[in-house]
Amino acid sequence: MTDPNVQRKLIEIMRIISKSDKPLGARLIADELQNRGYAIGERAVRYHLRILDERGFTKKHGYIGRTITDLGQKELNDALISDRLDLVITRIEELVYKTTYDLREKKGNVIVNVSVIDKRDYEKAMDVLKYAIDAGISISPRIRVVDEDSEEDDIFVPDGKFAIANVCSITYDGILLKNGIPSTPLYGGLMQMEAHKPVSFVDIIGYSGTSIDPIKIFINRRSTSVLDYIESGTGKLLANLRHVPGSAREKAREVMELAKESEIGGYLAIGETGEDVFSVPLEKGKAGIPVIVGSNAIAAIAEAGIPVKAYPVSTIMDYNIMKRLE
């Protein structure tokens, strides 16, 4: 039986090939997968293509590339609707399950966002990143920089680029689960801040039922005003919202507070059971937890006029290899 994560990548690769009127090679497929939120390199794409060839779903045309076969097109057409629609929430669930960070032993994997930037913008981007992190608008001050052509930690970086991995707020859902608290990410959105305090969600997009991460959508729309917030205390920051059982509300608070000892912060509040959280209604019996997301630091880079490709909720990484910016 194929691993569900591999299966989704196979389907996505077939989608990409099927939309081309000519054979596609591994490099072009890898680039398009990056655009769709998969941190996967050319070498890994070749591995998946071999699987598709063996199943008769794709045909190799020498060094030119692959095309999809009739059998492959049928397989693609028969793909589950839920797989097509719930791509983001499914990836989130997988990474939440793979989160191993132990708050007491202070070791293990966390979920990271990956952002790719041109090397020519390295110094300016890192200056803005440090400025934003020092202002406290990221859930952790720790990052990791990955150089081009590296597939370290399952991160592919194209030539002439570098990548920034920073802690993703969905890490909280993994940590809560590890501590026996089921946590469900509901929405990514924009939090209106005034006088350095959260006021209300002004826009939200559900994680379920979308194939593009909501946080990526808001970054691409240039909907944030992170730099304005840092300067004046007023602006729109990226935030997300999850819910936990109301009966686990106090334990969740203890876990979130303990996370601060590992330099993982950013949670804004824990709502009362069944009550709205910053203008967002919650299910009966659930308590909402809004968190300022790690991608705010990346949004600040984009606001500074630096082109950046953001891939939120990208992969997992050993938290202890991530370091503070000096």
How is residue 165 written in tokens?
């991995």
∠ CA 259-261-262 to the nearest 5 degrees?
A: 70
**β-sheet with 286-292: strand ranges across:** 197-206, 184-194, 235-245, 286-292
pLDDT at 85: 44
Helices 296-303 and 122-134 pack at an angle, to 10 degrees, of 130
- Are 128 and 306 spatial neighbours (Cβ–Cβ below 8 Å)? yes
From first to last of its 326 residues, what are the pLDDT tens digits of the chain? 345 567 778 888 998 999 898 999 999 999 888 877 777 788 889 989 998 998 899 999 988 999 999 988 887 776 644 444 446 888 899 999 999 999 999 999 999 999 999 999 999 999 999 999 999 999 999 999 998 866 565 687 888 999 999 999 999 999 999 999 999 999 999 999 999 999 999 999 888 767 778 899 899 889 999 999 999 999 999 999 999 999 999 999 999 999 999 999 998 999 999 999 999 999 899 999 999 999 999 999 999 999 999 999 989 999 999 999 88
231 membership: H or E segment, kind and range: helix 226-232
pLDDT at 132: 96
What residue ranges define each of the domains in the chain, with the CATH number in brackets? 4-79 (1.10.10.10), 109-324 (3.30.70.1360)
Fill in the DSSP letter of residue 267: B
**110: nearest Cα among 170, 164, 158:** 170
**β-sheet with 161-167: strand ranges across:** 308-318, 109-118, 161-167, 142-147, 323-324
Please provide the DSSP assignment of 73-112 as one string: HHHHHTS-HHHHH-HHHHHHHHHHHH---BTTTTBSEEEE
Enter the pTM of the model.
0.76
How is residue 279 written in tokens?
């203008």
How is residue 41 written in tokens?
């390199």
